Amino acid sequence: MTTENKLNIASYFLKFLMGISLTIAFLLAFVYFHSMFSPEKYSNLIVNNERSLEYKFDIEKAPKTYEEWQVSNKLFYYVKLDTYSKFSVIWTLIIAFTIYFFILFLFNKFLKNTKDFELFFQNNIKIINNIIRLLFVLFAFIFVVKGYKNPMSIVFENSEAPHFITSRKVTFDFITYYPLAIIFFFVLKQVFKRGLELKLENDLTI
């Protein structure tokens, strides 16, 4: 398989991931707005302790009171969350997938330049710089979201005020792979900058 074919396959794969990211972001936005008018359609949607959404087909009926919830499996039913908690859960995921989409978009542009054999093209250095900035933004955003212990609130039929549910699982595995990705692209940028310098020196020599 030629290098150009491999780059084409990589580009198609990146476009596939871009499509998935954008589709998930739109679906999450749809769920957020549609659930305002038809909450009964989302009774099987729960929020796990990592604040990601899960759809369960065989879920138990949502408890009506806080006391019933206490003796149940203590699931975080999306339709039971208060307005702020719903907004926080959904739009945190939408922002993360949107930033991820733009990172993939820039990386695909980078591949297109590489396919044209413009390996030390000035535009590639700008693309890498933008990828690094987006990775920093995504890393900082996830760090704040996972590190900030704002509790989710569940509203029950027999109470006017929401009950604050503080149980959650905090994971910091992202602290490993995001810095590694940033370091990789930073080193790649330095390689391209040095390559561009050598190319310009060679052009002046000729």
Give 132-165 pLDDT, tens digit per residue: 888 888 888 877 776 555 667 888 776 666 676 6
Question: What range does the domain containing 87 cover?
Answer: 3-205
User: Does 65 score more than 90 pLDDT?
Assistant: no
Residue 44's pLDDT is what? 87
pTM of the complete model? 0.79
Q: What contacts 24+ positions apart, CB below 8 Å, involve 198-201?
A: 198/120, 199/120
Mean pLDDT score across all residues of the chain = 79
How far apart (Å, rounded) are the C-alpha atoms in residues 133 and 138?
Answer: 9
Summarize pLDDT for 9-55 with one digit per residue, the tens. Answer: 888 898 999 999 999 999 999 999 998 888 888 888 888 777 788 88
pLDDT score, position 206: 59
How many domains, the chain? 1
